[in-house]
Each structure stands twice: as structure tokens, then as C-alpha cells.
Structure 1
Amino acid sequence: MNEKTYTIINPTGFHTRPARLFVDTANEQFPDTTVTVIKGEKVINGKSMLHMLTLGVKYQEQVTLQVSGGNEEEAQRVLGTFFEAIHNE
């Protein structure tokens, strides 16, 4: 398992648009990888749009991304960039 914690730098938080891109990328590029996102006590399936939106991640909050199976290092690198980017509205 590969795990890393990220601080959200997007002033509007991790909203619908980046969440959709994250989920689509996770499902399309890493079908054999389990993707888990953790915020506080919430632990969710990072390949589910509904679950991602329930996290309600805001600016400067931290999330932990866990990936296992498949290409863990590549999945961590690619998916982690979604948390470290500022997304256009």
C-alpha cells in the first residue's frame, strides 16, 4: 500500500469538477488499483463520485490518499496531483 497526505491548495476546496476528474482518472487509468481517500474519521472509496462529494474537503484541509494493487506509485503520483492543484472554475 502507498499512502500520502495532501493539503488542499485550491481556494474553493475539492469541489465537483476536480472530484469528477479524479474519479474518472482513477477508474480509467488504474482499474486494478484500490483508491481510498481519508479525511478525519471519514474513509471512502476514491473511485465513487458520490463518496468523494460526501467528504466536503475545503481549502487548507488535509486528506490522505491510499492506493493499493496495480501500479501504486504511478497512481499516487497521478491522483495526488488533483489535491495539489488549483482548478479553474
Structure 2
Amino acid sequence: MGERKVTVAAEVGLHARPAATFVKRAMQAPMDISVGKVHGGSPVNGKSILAILALDVRQGETIVISADGEGSEEILDELATIAGTP
């Protein structure tokens, strides 16, 4: 299973437009994707806009994005770029 730790860069955190862009790309991936805060909480479905918004990720917080399967490394790189700075 691959993963990326990312510090969220957007002023609004992983909300609104950044979350929608993240989920739109994640939905195109054939594998399951999960997202969770590094400090607390359980990972959620990275393909669910409601789950991502419920994480309440704010600017400067670090998240872990995980995926497993063929092509997961490329997807993880793209999602890390969308979310912030790896």
C-alpha cells in the first residue's frame, strides 16, 4: 500500500474547491483511496466529498493519503499535489 503525507497548503484547507478537485481526481482511480489526519481520527473514503469535508482539514495540517493497486503511486502523486505540499 502506498501513501503520501501532505501538509495542506490552501487557505481554506481541504474544503470547497480543493476538496472537489481532490475527489474528482480520486473518483477516476480504479482503486480505493483513503485520507486521514496524521494526528487523530480514522481514515475516510477519499472518493466521498462529504467524508473529506467532515475531516475538517485546515491549512497547515498534515494528512495521509493511501491507495493500493496498479497505478497507485501516480495517483498518490497527483492527489498530493492537489492537497498541498508533500
Which structure has the greater CA radius of gyration? Answer: 1
Task: Name segments (4+ residues, structure 1) moved above 4 Å.
Answer: none
**Matched letter for residue 83 of structure 1:** A
Q: What corresponds to 1:52 in structure 2?
A: 52
CA distance in 2, matches of 1:81, 1:54: 21
Gaps of 5+ in 1: none
CA distance in 1, matches of 2:70, 2:23: 16
CA distance in 2, matches of 1:84, 1:58: 11
Preserved CA contact (<8 Å) 1:42 1:55? no
Gaps of 5+ in 2: none
Deviation at 1:42, TM superposition (A): 2.6
- Counting only pairs closer than 5 Å after superposition, residues 16-27 of structure 1 correspond to structure 2 as 16-27=16-27
**How many residues are aligned here?**
83
Structural RMSD (CA):
1.3
Deviation at 1:79, TM superposition (A): 0.9
Deviation at 1:70, TM superposition (A): 3.1
TM-score, normalised to structure 1's length?
A: 0.85
- Counting only pairs closer than 5 Å after superposition, residues 1-89 of structure 1 correspond to structure 2 as 1-28=1-28, 30=29, 32-39=30-37, 40-84=40-84
